[in-house]
Amino acid sequence: MGVKKDGEKYRCNVCGNEVTVTKVGGGTLVCCGENMKLLG
């Protein structure tokens, strides 16, 4: 799943890191070797 808009929040199910998108650049967010999951 790719990043679609500013303000989206993602979480790593392995370590718990959370990211809030401030600028959409395309692609997917990856942490601990796995795609991060969109919250909400």
CATH ID of 9-38, from 2.40.50, 1.10.490, 2.20.28, 3.10.450: 2.20.28
Give the start-to-end residue ranges of the domains of the chain.
Answer: 9-38
Residue 40 CA to residue 33 CA, distance in Å, equals 22
- Cβ pair 5, 24 in contact under 8 A: yes
State residue 1's pLDDT score: 62
pLDDT digits (tens, 9 = 90+) for 1-40: 689 999 999 999 999 999 999 999 889 999 999 999 999 7
pTM: 0.86
Helix then strand count (H, E) for the chain reads 0, 5
C-alpha 5/C-alpha 34 separation (Å) is: 20
